[in-house]
Chain A
Amino acid sequence: MNSLFPVSLFPARLFVAEFKRRWSMMKAYPAQEIAEVIFLAVFFYMLFLGAKFMAGPTANFGERLDAIVVGYVVWLLMISTYSGIASALYSESVSGTVEQLMMSPHRLTRIFFARTMADVAFSLGVTFIVATLIMFLTGSRLIVSPLMVVPIIGVILASTGLGFIVGSLVFVFKQVRTVQMVLQFTLLFGVMVPIETWSRTAGLAGSLLPVSPGAASLRILLVNGQFDGLFAVLSLANGLLYLVAGTWLFRKMEARAKQRGMVGHY
């Protein structure tokens, strides 16, 4: 009998496996995880007590506490999804496990996508628990619209797509840390550019920039309290566009590495 969700369309099992792997890694390096949780707790504590500068300019989605917290968390997620794939591919190549990943019925792109989403879910879970605890301690309250989930999905998909583009370079250049840092400005530019203030035509054209419509949609929601349906849809389209482009390039470079015998040569 055919499954309702064939593996190719719904790799839930892979997502669960990657989530468990992430949990196991946390247990393997508890000190590092505890340090990150403490940092997050101190960060939220300071933020809720009024130290808004803590979030830095990159997370600027508005002056309200809700906007600062959401902006900061989204920025962190974008950075981790953007850089995670290249870092994982490099470290797995050095340790040699990438060849085992390549010998799976799942494509490498699907494994890394599942891993990225598992990391996002894990980070969101930890952030939610820590933020809730600090809110309880400080008596602060965050009021956020559930509608912001749409642009957040858009920006995470787009930054994951950019992550695949950077990851594809690992097949060719092996060490891509410098390229990664340079391309991070693309992400920063995409977040900062205020396409929601541009004319309709320019705004639509600007929606092709990575994460821009998602960031614009979040700003409209967090600053003005309005949900812009067009930008929300554009953010999802933008996310899918970069994800498709990123995975396409990644597969091309993977095939090239297999053709030239460059897999696992580190």
Chain B
Amino acid sequence: MVTLEARKLVKTFGSGARRVEAVKGVSLTIKEGEILAFLGRNGAGKTTTIKMIAGLLVPDAGSVSIGGLDPATDREVYTRLGTVLEGSRNLYMQLTTLENLHYFAALKGLDHRLAVRRSDELLAAFGLTHKAHARVRELSRGMQQKVSVAVSLVHEPAVLLLDEPTNGLDVEASNDIKEMLRLFTSRGLSVLLTTHHLDVAQELSDRVAVIRDGVLVAEETTASLIERFSGNSFMITLAQAAPEEVVKRLTTAGVLVDETGCKLTLAGAELDLYSVLDMVRPLPVLSVQKPTADLADVFLSIVQAGEGGRK
């Protein structure tokens, strides 16, 4: 079941020479229990899209539906949506962990008894029970972020928007957040995750959407995207350097040959593996490897494509 659907979102800021088209027709869907990693460079349009989904920014065109409700017209949607924005911007630093949980639960419309029960459950799940009465400003950055995520879940939302949840966290805190996300998505929570930590995105996400210059340039399952970008890539290691005329034929065919003349990289070339092996016959081959791309490789390939390889 689709819990979040954004259709053809458009947002432009400024006018005349200062007009910036931040988001140009972005569409996203997330199903129940799914994590969608929403990736893009700084300024690509991620935060603008998230703010439109959260109802903090009105789109110029397009619409958002969360559990069938539109944030632009129906405030009831916020009983189904939780949001953790980037940085320490989600909590009252002067209040304790428990006071924050209770206050934001009331803000989401929960009665006190339910707020108390949910708060206690979340404190236990996040391992924060011993910090219930500690003021948030006195907690570590990792603990604060855990409290932010716990607060965003206090009303049991169907959809969670997470903007850079592991920024500035140590490995342990980051792992705790990941573990919690796995737990809650297994219970049906849908998550829209933006992060610059591509290892986190690869580990957690079911699907990936990549935005470049306000346009969605890729959206598919994480596994198939990685497989697609790993598909045509092979590394061949020769036992001796290829002669000059062979190197010339290989490079003309698009195969990368290193300066030793022993390592050949076949990445996205039109030739298949057997054609290249025919070209190097009868030179002895030490190994043929098929390196697997990771999400970082995929991301860089996608965002650099169409930019003329600009980094």
List the interface of chain A (C-beta within 8 A of B).
7, 13-14, 16-17, 20-21, 24-25, 28-29, 95-97, 99-107, 111, 255, 258-261, 263-264
Contact = CB atoms under 8 A, between A and B. Distances in A.
B243 interface: no
B85 to A, nearest CB: 6
B32 to A, nearest CB: 21
Contacts of A97: 89-92
Contacts of B11: 261
Nearest to B115: A17
Contact of B56 (A13, A28, A263): A263
B106 A14 contact: yes
A21 B57 contact: no
A25 B95 contact: yes
12 contacts: A7-B109, A13-B109, A21-B92, A21-B103, A24-B103, A28-B135, A99-B85, A101-B107, A255-B58, A258-B55, A258-B57, A261-B13
Given A96-B90, A261-B48, A263-B57, A103 B109 contact: no
Contacts of B109: 7, 13, 104-106
B99 interface: yes
Contacts of A100: 83, 85, 89-90, 104, 107
Q: B interface, by DSSP: helix, strand, loop or mixed? A: mixed
B106 A13 contact: yes
Contact of A24 (B48, B58, B99, B108): B99
A208 to B, nearest CB: 33
A252 to B, nearest CB: 13
Closest 9 pairs (CB-CB, A-B): A96-B89, A17-B106, A28-B94, A104-B107, A24-B99, A259-B58, A105-B75, A105-B78, A258-B58
A28, A100, A104 — most chain B CB neighbours (10 Å):
A100
B75 A106 contact: yes
Contacts of B89: 95-97, 99-100, 264
A102 B75 CA distance: 10
Contacts of A20: 99, 102-103
Contacts of A264: 56, 89
B79 interface: yes
Interface residues of B, number: 37
B54 to A, nearest CB: 6
Interface of B: 11, 13, 48, 51, 54-58, 75-76, 78-79, 81, 83, 85, 87-96, 99, 102-104, 106-109, 111-112, 135
A103 B95 contact: no
A96 B85 contact: yes
Q: Counting chain A CB atoms within 10 Å of each CB, which of B55, B75, B88, B106 scores highest?
A: B106
A183 to B, nearest CB: 28
B57 A24 contact: no
Nearest to A110: B75
Contact of B78 (A13, A104, A263): A104
A25 B96 CA distance: 10
A153 B259 CA distance: 86
